[in-house]
Chains A and B, each alone.
Chain A
Amino acid sequence: MKEQYRETDVVRNILDIQFGVLSAQDMQQLSHAHIVSSDLYSANKLAREPAPHGVLDRRMGTSQKDVTCETCAKDLTDCIGHYGYLDLARPVFHVGYFKNTIHILQNICKVCAHVLLKVKDKPGLCEQAKRITSYLHKKALYKRINELCKKMSICPYCGARNGVVKKLPPLKVIHERFRNVKKGDPIITDYISQFETASEYNKDLESQLSTTVVEFLNPSQVLDLFERIPLDDLPLLCMDQQYSHPKDLVLTRLLVPPNCIRPSVISELKSGTNEDDITVMLTEIIFLNNLINNRSTGKVQSVQDSWEHLQLHVAFLMNSEISVPHDLSMARKSTRGFVQRLKGKQGRFRGNLSGKRVDFSSRTVISPDPNLRINEVGVPIEVAKQLTYPEMVTSHNLALMRQLVRNGPDVHPGALFVKPRISPGVKKSLRYAHKEKTAMELRLGDVIERHLMDGDIVLYNRQPSLHKMSIMSHRVRVLPWRTFRFNECVCAPYNADFDGDEMNLHLPQTEEARAEALTLMAVTSNLVTPRHGALIVGATQDFLTGSYLLTQKDQFFDKEHACALVNSILAGKEASYKITLPPPAIMKPKELWTGKQIFSTIIRPNQAYPVACNLTARRKDYTRGEELCSNEAWIVLRNSELLAGALDKSLLGSGSKKNLFYVILKDYGKEHAADAMWRVARVSTFFLMNCGFSIGIGDVMPGTGLLARKHELLLDGYGKCDGFIGQLSEGTLHCQPGCSAEETLEQLILKELSTIRDKAGKACVMELHKTNAALIMALSGSKGSFINISQMIACVGQQAIGGKRVPNGFDDRALPHYERHSKIPAAKGFVSNSFFSGMTPTEFFFHTMAGREGLVDTAVKTSETGYMQRRLVKTLEDLYVAYDMTVRNSTQDIIQIQYGGDGLDPTELEGNNGGPVDLERVLDHIRAINPCTKEDPLSGPEVLQLSTKYLADDAFKDLSQEFKAELRAFMEKFSKRVEKMRARLSKDRTPHPMARHIERLTLTQLIDFLNLCLERYQASVMEPGTAVGALCAQSIGEPGTQMTLKTFHFAGVAAMNITLGVPRILEIINASHTISTPIITAKLKEDSDPEKARQVKGRVEKTLLGEVCEYLEEVFLPDDCFLLLKLAMDRIRLLKLEVDAYSIKYSICTSKLKIKEQDVCVESDTIITVRPSRTKASAMYYQLQHLKQHLIKVIIKGLPSVSRAVINQNDTGPGGKPKYELLVEGNNLREVIATYGVDGTRCTSNNTYEVFTCLGIEAARATIIREITVTMETHGLSVDRRHIMLLADLMTCRGQVLGITRHGLSKMKESTLMLASFEKTADHLFDAAYHGQSNPIKGVSDCIIMGKPMNIGTGVFKLLHNHQREPKPRTHSLIFDHPQMHIPLALGGWS
Chain B
Amino acid sequence: MPIGADGFRLPTVNEPGSKNKLEMIRGAGQDEYCRTFVINEEDHTLGNALKHVLMQHPAVEVCGYTVPHPMERSIHVRVQTKGVPAIQVLHQSLTTLKNQNQMVKQMIQDEVTKYKEDNSSQ
Contacts and interface: CB of A to CB of B under 8 A. Distances in A.
Interface string A402-421: 01000100011100000000
A571 B36 CA distance: 10
A173 interface: no
Given A403-B13, A567-B62, A575 B55 contact: no
A1149 interface: no
B28 A480 contact: no
A568 interface: yes
A563 interface: yes
Interface stretch (B69-77, B97-105, B106-114): B69-77
Interface in A966-980: none
Contact of B62 (A372, A563, A568, A569): A563
B51 A381 contact: no
Identify the interface centre among B34, B51, B55, B78: most chain A CB within 10 Å of its CB: B78
A568 B75 CA distance: 11
Contacts of B64: 563-564, 566-568, 570
Contacts of A578: 29-30, 34, 80
A454 B13 CA distance: 12
A563 B55 contact: yes
B13 A371 contact: no
Contacts of A371: 68-70
A479 B34 contact: no
A571 B28 CA distance: 14
Given A371-B69, A577-B29, A570 B62 contact: no
B9 A480 contact: yes
A579 B80 contact: yes
Given A480-B71, A576-B26, A578-B34, A560 B52 contact: yes
Contact of B3 (A480, A563, A577, A579): A480
B68 A572 contact: yes
B1 A480 contact: yes
A606 interface: yes
A578 B30 CA distance: 7
A567 B69 contact: no
A588 interface: no
B1 A478 contact: yes
Contacts of B29: 576-578, 606, 608
Nearest to B48: A564
A479 B69 CA distance: 10
A503 B36 CA distance: 36
A567 B66 contact: yes
Contact of B68 (A407, A478, A571): A571
B1 A563 contact: no
Contacts of A201: none
A581 interface: yes
B14 to A, nearest CB: 6
A576 B31 CA distance: 10
A1320 interface: no
Interface in A536-591: 559-560, 563-564, 566-573, 575-579, 581
A873 B45 CA distance: 56
A481 interface: yes
Contacts of B63: 563, 567
A570 B52 contact: no
B12 interface: yes
A577 B1 contact: no
Contact of A481 (B3, B26, B28, B61): B3
A480 B27 contact: no
Contacts of B30: 576, 578
A1035 to B, nearest CB: 37
Interface in B21-48: 25-30, 34, 36
Nearest to A565: B64
B34 A560 contact: no
A600 to B, nearest CB: 15
A597 to B, nearest CB: 13
Interface string B47-67: 000011001000001111110
A570 B1 contact: no
Contacts of B83: none
A15 to B, nearest CB: 49
B12 A579 contact: no
A411 B76 contact: no
B7 interface: yes
A1110 B91 CA distance: 108
Nearest to A404: B13
Given A570-B64, A576-B36, A412 B12 contact: yes
A479 B9 contact: yes
Nearest to A453: B14
A1069 B26 CA distance: 58
Contacts of A411: 13
Contacts of A581: 61-62
B78 A567 contact: yes
A570 B34 contact: no
Nearest to A407: B13
Interface in A412-461: 412-413, 454
Contact of B27 (A567, A573, A606, A686): A573
B3 A575 contact: no
Contacts of B25: 575-576
Contacts of B80: 578-579
A576 B79 CA distance: 11
B1 A381 contact: yes
Identify the interface centre among A381, A411, A572, A575: most chain B CB within 10 Å of its CB: A575
Contacts of A560: 51-52, 55
A1026 to B, nearest CB: 36
B34 A571 contact: no
A478 B26 CA distance: 23
Contacts of A403: 13
Contacts of A372: 69
Contacts of A559: 55
A579 B62 contact: yes
Nearest to B29: A578
Contact of B51 (A564, A566, A576): A564
B65 to A, nearest CB: 6
Identify the interface centre among A567, A573, A579, A608: most chain B CB within 10 Å of its CB: A567
Contact of A479 (B62, B65, B71, B78): B71
A577 B28 contact: yes
Contacts of B68: 371, 570-572, 575
Identify the interface centre among A413, A559, A564, A576: most chain B CB within 10 Å of its CB: A576
Identify the interface centre among A413, A564, A606: most chain B CB within 10 Å of its CB: A564
Interface in A470-525: 478-481
B66 A568 contact: yes
B1 A412 contact: yes
B39 to A, nearest CB: 13
B16 to A, nearest CB: 10
Interface string A359-390: 00000000000011000000001000000000
A1169 B80 CA distance: 107
Contacts of A606: 29
Contact of A575 (B14, B27, B51): B27
Identify the interface centre among B14, B27, B29, B55: most chain A CB within 10 Å of its CB: B29
A571 B69 contact: yes
A993 B68 CA distance: 51
Contacts of A570: 36, 64-66, 68, 76, 78
Given A567-B78, A570-B66, 12 more contacts: A480-B7, A567-B64, A568-B64, A568-B66, A569-B66, A570-B65, A571-B68, A576-B29, A576-B30, A577-B28, A578-B29, A581-B61
22 contacts: A412-B13, A413-B1, A454-B14, A478-B1, A479-B9, A480-B9, A480-B71, A563-B55, A563-B64, A567-B64, A570-B68, A570-B76, A573-B27, A576-B27, A576-B29, A576-B30, A577-B27, A577-B29, A578-B80, A579-B80, A606-B29, A608-B29
Interface of B: 1, 3, 7-9, 12-14, 25-30, 34, 36, 51-52, 55, 61-66, 68-71, 76, 78, 80
Report, nearest first, the 4 A-B pairs whose CB atoms are least far apart: A567-B64, A576-B27, A571-B68, A578-B29
